[in-house]
Homo-oligomer: A and B are copies of this chain.
């Protein structure tokens, strides 16, 4: 049996976040001590680790809900899990693409070495979209 603090240390999930996940229904309400403190089992630990790892990989809480549900039903088709992950991969890739466009534009405008704001490319570019090289 682990206290919430021990669970937190073992999984790297902060205590208020654990309680938040419980509220959101991602983890079951654990048993309580006589004094009403949460007491977790190994099952609770591995479920929370799963969640932690999924969050690290950027899955949303809703996605995780689905993935957890799948993990409880080993006979279901793998394609369900696959499509959640593939969709997420697409999201990540489109975010990367967008950020790379930003990066290019920011690199360009930060090259400016004017003396004061009056001639500064940063300010000028922001004031006038027409000065941009690419769309964003």
The answer to whether the Cβ of A107 comes within 8 Å of any Cβ in the partner chain is yes
Interface string of A89-105 (1 = CB under 8 A from B): 10011011001101101
Which of A1-9, A20-28, A30-38, A122-130 contacts its partner?
Answer: A122-130
The oligomer's copy count stands at 2
Task: Select one of B70, B88, B102 contacting A57, CB under 8 A.
Answer: B102
Interface size class on chain A is: 35 or more
Highest count of chain B CB atoms <10 Å: which of A81, A99, A109, A129 = A81
**A93 and B103 contact, CB distance less than 8 A:** yes
Task: Select one of B53, B78, B95, B117 contacting A99, CB under 8 A.
Answer: B95
Main secondary structure of the interface of A (DSSP, over half): helix
Return chain B residues, CB-CB under 8 Å to A42: none
Return chain B residues, CB-CB under 8 Å to A112: 78, 82
**A77 and B117 contact, CB distance less than 8 A:** yes
With CB as the reference atom, state the residue of chain B lying closest to A75: B116
In the A-B complex, the 4 residue pairs with the smallest Cβ-Cβ separation, listed nearest first, are: A74-B118, A78-B120, A89-B106, A81-B122
